């Protein structure tokens, strides 16, 4: 990754390059797992798991090195490092207008673990949670792990529209939680303020918890505006438990660090007990918390330049896909993912993913129920957090494979 420091009067601007030459392919082939470079043959381009191909901001590595150089790796507190939690509180106030306190912030070893902890706290076995369909499989997995029952609310893949009356009709005395992914992986929908109020008011009316996943909330394209559920009003905030992670915005998936923000001390204590972190059987690496603190304090310039690059990649990928025979693709508002409809090819999503792998040497994620729910069928997910050269090569291969279908 190339950093260019530009002097402008009394301050400096750091410009980040996201070109093919900024990708450390050797490191990716040995370190990028989860359906990516390290798990696939060398002639395959992975446009799969939502993880950047680029090196993270240098300030993150510098903070890890400075901490490690003192060679003291003692236990951290179950509640998380105080400096980390203080930085999170200040950042949420400044960037998302979420009013909280450091004592209500619980570091977790990933946003995924945070979702599992929230579901365990909110649900008793047999109780229900409402989950959008399609959405990332972790929502249903978290509900299942808690012994709960996931009820699927359909959302239109292309328009992002959903029926709030249908949502209310699905609520029963056994319903205890609503699940929100904002922006929504895989379709890239950013929920409007009015939509969030409608969902939040139902949570207040029926005394439901909201599992509010905002891991994608920094990847918002120019046409959309992000609003946090926890920043709407006091009544909705009191029902909202927010989870956040550093993997999408800062390229820190392998460091496994995120956090949960509780609405009050009683919920925080309940989540801490559900996490079992006080037993020391679970918990977040102190190194990872140091890295997360450095990201929030020093690396937003990197995120801003990354988002500018991603906007170009989104526009390019959508235009290319819409020009391919049998494929249509809507323009996502957030997430560095595109979710094209491939039904015009006559293939199922799984068949199309297999076709891409075998004929184009490109790995994509099929819109199969196991990944996103039954509402994802007829689509594939493509990750665009790479260079234009890599993305173009992958799309070229898919296009040529479609043109030469027998």
pLDDT digits (tens, 9 = 90+) for 5-50: 444 344 444 678 899 898 999 999 999 999 999 999 999 999 999 9
For residues 286 and 308, membership in a common domain is answered with no
| 250 and 284 co-located in one domain | yes
The predicted structure's pLDDT at residue 3: 53
Question: Is there a domain that residue 331 lies in?
Answer: yes
Query: Is residue 66 assigned to a domain?
Result: no
Q: Would you state the pLDDT for residue 17?
A: 87
pLDDT, residue 365, reads 98
Q: Which residues neighbour 168 within 8 Å (Cβ) at sequence distance 6 or greater?
A: 202
Task: Tell whether 329 and 240 lie within a shared domain.
Answer: no
Q: Does a structural domain hold residue 356?
A: yes
Is there a domain that residue 34 lies in? yes
Domain containing residue 305: CATH number: 3.90.1150.10
Average pLDDT, the chain: 95
Say whether both 259 and 141 belong to one domain.
yes
Q: Is residue 338 part of a domain?
A: yes
- Which residue, of 247, 273, 298, is where some domain finishes? 298
| pLDDT recorded at residue 14 | 61
Q: Which domain-ending residue is among 241, 267, 298?
A: 298
Helix or strand holding residue 380 (H, E): strand 380-383
The backbone torsions φ and ψ at residue 120, rounded to the nearest 5 degrees and listed phi first, read -65, -40
270 within domain boundaries: yes
CB neighbours of 175 closer than 8 A, spacing ≥ 6?
Answer: 127, 128, 129, 130, 151, 206, 208
Please state the domain count of the chain.
2
Model pTM? 0.94
Whether 169 and 31 map to the same domain: the answer is no
Whether residue 68 lies inside any domain: the answer is no
Tell me the pLDDT tens digit for each residue of 351-386: 999 999 999 999 999 999 999 999 999 999 999 999
- CATH number for the domain spanning 123: value is 3.40.640.10
Pick the closest to residue 123 from 157, 150, 146 (CA basis): 146
User: What is the torsional sign of CA 122, 239, 220, 2?
Assistant: negative
Over residues 116-169, the pLDDT tens digits come to: 999 999 999 999 999 999 999 999 999 999 999 999 999 999 999 999 999 999
Range of the domain at 363: 3-56+300-403
Residue 311 has pLDDT above 70, yes or no: yes
């Amino acid at each position: 990754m190339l950093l260019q420091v530009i002097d402008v009067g009394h301050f400096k601007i750091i410009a980040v390059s996201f070109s093919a030459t900024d990708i450390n392919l050797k490191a990716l082939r040995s370190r990028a797992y989860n359906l990516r470079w390290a798990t696939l043959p060398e002639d395959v381009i992975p446009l799969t798991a939502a993880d950047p191909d680029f090196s993270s901001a240098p300030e993150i590595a510098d903070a890890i090195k400075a901490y490690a150089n003192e060679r003291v790796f003692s236990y951290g507190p179950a509640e998380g490092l105080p400096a980390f939690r203080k930085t999170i509180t200040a950042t949420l106030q400044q960037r998302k207008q979420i009013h909280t306190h450091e004592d209500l912030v619980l570091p977790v070893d990933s946003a995924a673990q945070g979702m599992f902890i929230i579901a365990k706290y909110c649900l008793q076995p047999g109780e229900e949670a409402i989950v959008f369909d399609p959405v990332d499989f972790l929502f249903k997995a978290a509900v299942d792990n808690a012994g709960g029952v996931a009820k699927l609310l359909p959302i239109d893949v292309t328009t992002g529209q959903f029926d709030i009356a249908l949502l209310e009709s699905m609520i029963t005395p056994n319903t205890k939680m609503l699940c929100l992914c904002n922006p929504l992986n895989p379709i890239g929908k950013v929920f409007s303020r009015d939509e969030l109020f409608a969902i939040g008011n139902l949570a207040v009316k029926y005394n439901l918890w909201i599992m509010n996943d905002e891991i994608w909330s920094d990847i918002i394209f120019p046409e959309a505006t992000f609003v946090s559920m926890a920043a709407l009003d006091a009544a909705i905030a009191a029902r909202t438990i927010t989870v956040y992670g550093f993997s999408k915005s800062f390229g820190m998936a392998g460091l496994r660090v995120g956090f949960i923000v509780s609405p009050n001390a009683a919920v925080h204590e309940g989540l801490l007990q559900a996490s079992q972190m006080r037993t020391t059987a679970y918990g977040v690496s102190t190194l990872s918390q140091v890295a997360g603190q450095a990201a929030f304090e020093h690396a937003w310039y990197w995120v801003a330049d990354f988002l500018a690059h991603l906007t170009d990649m989104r526009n390019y990928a959508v235009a290319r896909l819409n020009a391919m025979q049998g494929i249509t693709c809507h323009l996502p508002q957030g997430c560095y993912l595109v979710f094209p409809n491939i039904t015009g090819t006559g293939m199922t999503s799984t068949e199309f993913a297999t076709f891409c792998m075998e004929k184009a040497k490109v790995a994509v994620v099929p819109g199969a129920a196991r990944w996103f729910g039954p509402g994802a069928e007829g689509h594939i997910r493509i990750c665009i957090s790479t260079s234009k050269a890599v993305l173009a090569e992958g799309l070229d291969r898919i296009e040529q494979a479609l043109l030469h279908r027998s």
